[in-house]
Amino acid sequence: MLDFPRWKVLMLWGVTILVALASLPSLCSVAGLTWPSALPSPMINLGLDLAGGSHILLEADPSQVRQQRLEAMDESVRNKLKTTDATIRISDISNNNGSLTFLVEDVTKVDAVREAILPLTSGAGLTGQRDWNIQVVDGNRFVLTPTQEGIDQAVSQAMDTAVEVVRKRIDGLGTKEPTILRQGAQRIVVQVPGLQDPQQLKALLGQTAKLEFKLVDQSALPSDLARGIAPVGSQIVPYADPKTGGAPIAVKRLGGIRGDELTNAQAGNNPQTNEPVVNITFNTEGGAKFAKLTTQNVGKPFAIILDGKVLSAPNINEPILGGSAQISGHFTAESAGQLAISLRSGALPVDLKVVEERTVGPDLGADSIRKGVIAMAVGTLALVVFIIATYGRLGVYACVALVMNMLMILGVMATIGATLTLPGIAGFVLTIGAAVDANVLINERIREERHRGRRVVAAVETGYKEASRAIFDANVTNVIAAVLMASFGTGPVKGFAVVLMIGIATSVYTSMWLTRMWVAQWLRRARPTDLHL
């Protein structure tokens, strides 16, 4: 137990110094000194509660994904049947009650229809997963119901896309180092350090930015529209701003263009009216579709729809062949800029709602760090005096180990890029108090063994050996609590748990290994016949 060959001594010192050194850049920055930039500089991240900034939790609505899938399936089935066999006629199509239903008019074609749509219903990839269940009831009515696995997968994909879109939008705002993480099945956490006013950010993330160009159904009677009745194949869409736009209009469901085929979107001004507008540029495919739509419908109005609301419904005066267009819709300069960012980063596949928001001012954090440092200094000093007064030489070893422990915690945190939070400061101070426990246990045991008449070396050996069992058990229970804490709660609490876990590991190392090495070296050097305890 007390045998420390040279290589072991070198290794222990090497690890300690290396890890402790990693804490220096962070300590320098707290002390207001500059760390030479030529050297590697691992830094401890400050959590939002210390650095100030905004934390926003967004939640998606999975039922929306379900409806989108139904609508997409509706369109795919129609297209598929049209291209496979022009003689197939289907009717009474509905996607409203959680499944897609339609009638095949010619009963003899039922098998052919089933054959044709079967490939549409299996999942992507090689898993053989079925995304849709097909049922035929009453001989010729098809019922396509999405399976839970299919929906789960679709939600998961939608969330992945949503995270990307959110990231692009926040980058578009030019904010620094945002953290964007998916949390659970349908949530996204956004953290932006330093952001004091999250209103703009929330407005940007709250916009789905699904842009559509659809033909206005001019056959709709205003009286029907007022009662909410749309002609077959059309739907009623309200104006985004009824004051400037007017009453809701009917647009044709099919044959429109989606705004996701864009290569660029920029806010600008209409040269004639000087009104803020958004200039968009289609990609090749979108440009071709847009050219076709405008060529075939010259003289008719078409609606520019954003997130289910009409921005404007201008007449097509002439075919637009250049692949670019201008969207007007009573924008302000700010809302035009926001829409441009949203369009550039693509539409969100699902609507996101803010369910939790925390903003912390910048002064509170700086204040807390300063107070935390003071509390730590006072606590450590008092503790050092107490421990040395109680244990003498062995107490000095315990205290040096304690200081090493503090440096190593910071060093490990800097190296793994852990985040220091407000409760984390408390965790750090608490760890200091708890870390001496191991040495107290050991020293008390040594004292006991000396009273029982053991020689110094034997007493020290027994002390370390017998105490290690309780130290081990106590630390395991602490780790259990810390792990459960890390699995629960928000950033600050997690930060606390991380500090605790690192502290448990480093304190076992410093209080059991380092102090033992120092005691062993002293015993060998001085060969004391009595221990002053």
Partner 1 sequence: MKLLKLVPDNTNIHFLKWRVPFYFGSLLLMAASLGLVFTKGLNLGVDFVGGQMIRVTFERSAEAPVADLRSEVAKLGYGEPIIQRYGKPNEISIRMKLPEGAEHDAAQSDKMARTITADIKSHHADARIDGVDSVSGKVSKELGWDAFKALGFAALAVAAYIWMRFEWQFGIGALFSLVHDVVLTLGMFALTQMEFDLNIVAALLTLIGYSLNDTIVVYDRVRENLKKYRKMPLPELLDLSVNETLARTIVTSLSMLITLVALLAFGPEVIFGFTAAITLGIFVGTYSSIYMAAPILIWLKVNPKSFVPTETALEKQERLAREGA
If the CB atoms of residues 72 and 430 are measured against partner 1, the closer one turns out to be 430
Nearest to 343 by CA among 282, 418, 405, 404: 282
If the CB atoms of residues 294 and 439 are measured against partner 1, the closer one turns out to be 439
Which residues touch 325 (CB under 8 Å, ≥6 apart)? 279, 280, 282, 290
Instruction: Give least dist CB 441 to partner 1, A.
Output: 6
If the CB atoms of residues 249 and 435 are measured against partner 1, the closer one turns out to be 435
Instruction: Give least dist CB 506 to partner 1, A.
Output: 16
Instruction: Give least dist CB 369 to partner 1, A.
Output: 8
Nearest to 175 by CA among 144, 148, 146, 205: 205
Q: Are strands 419-420 and 45-46 parallel, antiparallel or unpaired?
A: parallel
Nearest to 503 by CA among 451, 430, 443, 445: 430
Q: What is the DSSP string of 103-159?
A: EESSGGGHHHHHHHHGGGGBPSSSS--BSEEEEEETTTEEEEEE-HHHHHHHHHHHH
If the CB atoms of residues 14 and 194 are measured against partner 1, the closer one turns out to be 194
If the CB atoms of residues 323 and 365 are measured against partner 1, the closer one turns out to be 365
Buried b (16+ CB within 10 A) or exposed e, 39-68: eeebebbbbbbbbbbbbbbbbbebeebbee
Nearest to 188 by CA among 154, 158, 217: 158
Reading phi first (left if > 0) and then psi (alpha if -120 to 50, else beta), residue 401 is in alpha
If the CB atoms of residues 143 and 426 are measured against partner 1, the closer one turns out to be 426
Integer Cα distance of 308 and 286 in angstroms: 20
Which residues touch 129 (CB under 8 Å, ≥6 apart)? 122, 123, 147, 149, 150, 153
Instruction: Give least dist CB 496 to partner 1, A.
Output: 5
Give CA angle at 513 (510, 516), nearest 5°.
Answer: 115
Instruction: Give least dist CB 322 to partner 1, A.
Output: 37
Q: Are strands 187-193 and 179-183 parallel, antiparallel or unpaired?
A: antiparallel
Give the dihedral sign, CA 233/238/239/243: positive
Instruction: Give least dist CB 327 to partner 1, A.
Output: 23
Reading phi first (left if > 0) and then psi (alpha if -120 to 50, else beta), residue 332 is in beta
Integer Cα distance of 197 and 200 in angstroms: 7
Instruction: Give least dist CB 55 to partner 1, A.
Output: 9
Q: What's the N-to-C CA distance of the chain in angstroms?
A: 21
Alpha carbon distances (Å) from 66 to 62, 92, 134, 221: 7, 20, 16, 32
If the CB atoms of residues 172 and 489 are measured against partner 1, the closer one turns out to be 489
Instruction: Give least dist CB 277 to partner 1, A.
Output: 24
If the CB atoms of residues 229 and 476 are measured against partner 1, the closer one turns out to be 476
Instruction: Give least dist CB 187 to partner 1, A.
Output: 9
Instruction: Give least dist CB 479 to partner 1, A.
Output: 8
Instruction: Give least dist CB 50 to partner 1, A.
Output: 9
Length of the chain in terms of residues written: 533
If the CB atoms of residues 57 and 313 are measured against partner 1, the closer one turns out to be 57
If the CB atoms of residues 56 and 514 are measured against partner 1, the closer one turns out to be 56
Place of tokens 């849709």: 132
Q: Are 504 and 526 in contact (CB under 8 A)?
A: no
Instruction: Give least dist CB 401 to partner 1, A.
Output: 13
Reading phi first (left if > 0) and then psi (alpha if -120 to 50, else beta), residue 324 is in beta
If the CB atoms of residues 10 and 364 are measured against partner 1, the closer one turns out to be 364
If the CB atoms of residues 198 and 346 are measured against partner 1, the closer one turns out to be 198
In sequence order, the β-bridge partners of residue 100 are 144
